[in-house]
């Protein structure tokens, strides 16, 4: 499954991340645990939480982030 | 281009010309970890700080006085990795790779240590002595994150200084460490780090306290609660700026200027000069001694001051990136990311820092769209003050319509530019900081600093504008220009020909395209048309200057010229449209 298919509140583990310059060094890594906090309105980004920090990620990137349920 | 310090020195110039006699330290780290706060505390230099990613878009240099020892500290924009994606990030990397610093003060984020260590690892490979600083330890503690600083020091092969920079905690130890590295410089040979192992060994997490602020931070991002909160924040901001400004203006400043100062200065000038040209230039209809005080201080300053209170609070609270995430879907229709809410909000203060702030954008197309929208449709604080002074007393409804129109113009300009400009739309990736109650001292310092700069930077050009106004009015020159401009001003825009003065002065400062309208007996329709034209009209000289500096002469001239054409075109269309409606109904 990808991040766009995730349910809010559930915990997931990142299985695969796209190789995008914008993601380099942001701390998101394969194997890391994240949860989907909310989906922004107006076709906006997905807000995820990783160790208490929040990130807004646009839908096209979310499609490329593969997850597995914890 | 585009990588200059506040004073205009460019990175490449710094690299080729700067010969530092003092030891030089670079201040490095991820965005929004408190680097600029540490810089400010160590050098005493006031720099822009805020609770969002990308506050620092260029470098700032300052001198550290370390109890007798001296050293230079360079604050560079925060980065996530040594692979730059924006112009601001390139500045940081250029400094690391092309200067030869004595050391690096590396700020680690205690709330996100693993992310900080990723960059730390990359920087370590340069084999430059590093002083690691673990900042935001108070926030980490609140979140239930505990870091064993001793163990971390062992792994990093350097003594880690734990700080809460905003409260001055740990800074004395940091100064001691910098002094030590100056007095006993070491050759370093750092080994590679195993970040996973470090994290497992040094960090423990317990259930953190979920505070009201944490909950509010979440609510402000969720659709159901986020949109009402955004409207509430907007309404509150509007109420504070208009209500507070109006109260101070009408109760204190206007009576002081009109009933005390104006009669006194008129009396003094009349004592020395008889009625005539010079008398009128000094204390007449557009008298420099009267309007030069009334316009900037009694009409504009109260609103600007309250706006700065709101802006400083929003900046330091961490709310702006949340708003950015909430409206990202809307802004993407304009070809830009939600994080551009920050330059837009700053544009309501002044377009100059807003345009410079676009350096964090990852594409040139995005930068040009944001800069154009800010120049065309977002009124600066002074112009907002002028609008409130012009419309507030006659019709609050019209004032609200003006602000809604400014948003509509901004949105339309963005959509059009996205269609016509070549370039890809960068995907959104935004880090959203913790929601915090801003520190009182920092906010007060910001408000005072900004108000001071407004008084210095706005007063001189405004005085020059008022002097020009007084001369063209009193010499009859305005009569000549007005007759020449009659087809545009009177026939097309439906304004009295004296309104030409507003368009003339609007070249100097944006609010001067509004203030002369205060002196004219205008109908509600004319007030509205005049305001629309002033809103869209040419950005002031400083904005033109920064557009040229950031994007080149051609782009600067194109943006500025199109604003004039757009202002006159839309003003005329509104005028004839309203007349048509009035005739029909």
Q: How far apart are CA B585 and CA B398, in angstroms?
A: 20
Nearest to A56 among B81, B328, B426 (CB): B328
B205: pLDDT strictly greater than 90: no
Question: Helices B541-551 and B553-584 sit at what angle, rounded to 10 degrees?
Answer: 130
Q: How far apart are CA B221 and CA B432, in angstroms?
A: 10
Instruction: Using the Cα atoms of residue B77, residue B79, residue B82 and residue B85 in order, give the sign of their dihedral.
Output: negative
Interface contacts (A, B; CB < 8 Å): 116
- pLDDT computed for residue B16 by the predictor: 53
Tens digit of each residue's pLDDT (9 = 90 or more) over B270-290: 999 988 899 999 998 888 999
Please judge whether A25 and B119 are an interchain contact, meaning their C-beta atoms are less than 8 angstroms apart.
yes
DSSP one-letter string for B479-532: HHHHHHHHIIIIIIT---GGGHHHHHHTTT-GGGGTGGGGGS---HHHHHHHHH
When pLDDT is cut at 50, 70 and 90, the band that residue B81 belongs to is confident
Tens digit of each residue's pLDDT (9 = 90 or more) over A2-44: 999 999 989 999 999 998 877 876 768 888 889 999 999 999 9
> What residues of A are in contact with residue B218 (Cβ under 8 Å)?
37-38
Interface test with B, best of A33, A45, A46, A55 (most B CBs within 10 A): A45
For residue B373, give the DSSP letter: H
Nearest to B342 by CA among B387, B378, B306: B378
Tens digit of each residue's pLDDT (9 = 90 or more) over B398-442: 899 999 999 999 999 999 999 999 888 888 888 898 888 888 888
**Sheet containing B130-135: which strands, arranged edge to edge?**
B60-66, B69-75, B24-29, B103-109, B130-135, B161-162
- A20: tokens are 């995008």
CA B351 to chain A, closest CA, distance in angstroms equals 26
For residue B360, give the DSSP letter: G
Do A33 and A40 contact (CB within 8 A), yes or no? no
Whether the CB of B555 is below 8 Å from some CB of chain A: the reply is no
- The model's pTM is 0.81
Q: How far apart are CA B386 and CA A51, in angstroms?
A: 47
Please judge whether A42 and B221 are an interchain contact, meaning their C-beta atoms are less than 8 angstroms apart.
no
């Amino acid at each position: 499954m990808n991040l766009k298919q995730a349910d809010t509140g559930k915990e997931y583990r990142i299985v695969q991340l796209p190789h995008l310059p914008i993601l380099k060094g942001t701390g998101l890594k394969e194997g890391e645990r994240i949860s989907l906090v909310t989906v922004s309105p107006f076709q906006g980004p997905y807000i995820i939480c990783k160790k208490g920090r929040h990130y807004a990620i646009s839908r096209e990137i979310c499609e490329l982030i593969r997850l597995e349920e914890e | 281009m585009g990588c200059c310090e506040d004073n205009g020195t460019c990175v490449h110039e710094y690299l080729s010309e700067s010969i530092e006699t003092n030891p030089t330290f670079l201040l490095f780290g991820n965005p929004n970890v408190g680097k600029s706060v540490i810089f400010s505390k160590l050098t005493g230099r006031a720099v822009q700080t805020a609770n969002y990613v990308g506050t620092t878009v260029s470098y700032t240099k300052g001198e550290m006085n370390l109890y007798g020892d001296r050293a230079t500290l360079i604050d560079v924009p925060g980065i996530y990795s040594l692979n730059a994606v924006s112009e601001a990030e390139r500045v940081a990397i250029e400094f690391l790779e092309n200067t030869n610093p004595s050391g690096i003060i590396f700020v680690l984020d205690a709330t996100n240590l693993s992310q900080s260590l990723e960059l730390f690892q990359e920087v370590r490979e340069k084999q430059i002595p590093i002083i690691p600083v673990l900042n935001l330890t108070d926030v980490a503690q609140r979140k239930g994150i505990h870091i064993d600083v001793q163990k971390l020091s062992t792994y990093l092969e350097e003594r880690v200084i734990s700080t809460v920079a905003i409260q001055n905690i740990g800074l004395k130890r940091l100064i001691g460490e910098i002094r030590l590295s100056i007095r006993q410089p070491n050759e370093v040979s750092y080994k590679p780090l195993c970040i996973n192992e470090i994290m497992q060994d040094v960090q423990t997490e317990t259930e953190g306290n979920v505070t009201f602020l944490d909950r509010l931070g979440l609510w402000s991002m969720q659709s159901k609660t986020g949109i009402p909160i955004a409207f509430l924040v907007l309404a509150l901001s509007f109420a504070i700026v208009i209500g507070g400004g109006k109260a101070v203006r009408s109760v204190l400043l206007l009576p002081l200027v009109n009933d005390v100062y104006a009669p006194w200065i008129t009396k003094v000038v009349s004592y020395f000069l008889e009625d005539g040209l010079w008398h009128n230039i000094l204390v007449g209809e557009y008298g420099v001694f009267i309007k030069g005080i009334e316009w900037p201080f009694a009409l504009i300053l109260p609103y600007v001051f309250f706006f700065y209170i709101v802006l400083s609070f929003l900046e330091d609270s961490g709310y702006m990136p949340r708003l950015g995430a909430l409206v990202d879907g809307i802004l993407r229709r304009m070809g830009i990311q939600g994080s551009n809410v920050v330059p837009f909000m700053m544009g309501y203060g002044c377009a100059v820092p807003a345009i410079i702030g676009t350096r964090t954008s990852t594409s040139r197309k995005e930068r040009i769209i944001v800069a154009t929208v800010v120049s065309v449709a977002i009124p600066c604080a002074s112009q907002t003050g002028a609008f409130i002074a012009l419309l507030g007393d006659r019709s609050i409804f019209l004032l609200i319509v003006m602000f809604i129109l400014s948003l509509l113009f901004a949105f339309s300009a963005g959509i059009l530019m996205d269609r016509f400009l070549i370039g890809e739309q960068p995907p959104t990736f935004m880090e959203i900081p913790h929601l915090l109650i801003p520190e009182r001292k920092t906010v007060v310092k910001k408000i005072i600093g900004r108000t001071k700069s407004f008084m210095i930077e706005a007063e001189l050009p405004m005085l020059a504008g008022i002097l020009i106004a007084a001369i063209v009015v009193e010499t009859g020159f305005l009569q000549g220009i007005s007759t020449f401009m009659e087809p545009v001003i009177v026939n097309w825009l439906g304004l009295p020909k004296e309104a030409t003065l507003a368009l003339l002065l609007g070249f100097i400062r944006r609010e001067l395209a509004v203030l002369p309208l205060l002196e004219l007996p205008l109908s509600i329709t004319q007030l509205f048309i005049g305001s629309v034209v002033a809103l869209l009209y040419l950005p002031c000289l400083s904005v033109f200057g920064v557009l040229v500096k950031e994007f080149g002469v051609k782009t600067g001239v194109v943006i500025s010229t199109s604003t004039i054409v757009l202002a006159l075109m839309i003003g005329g269309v509104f005028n004839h449209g309203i007349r048509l409606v009035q005739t029909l109904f």
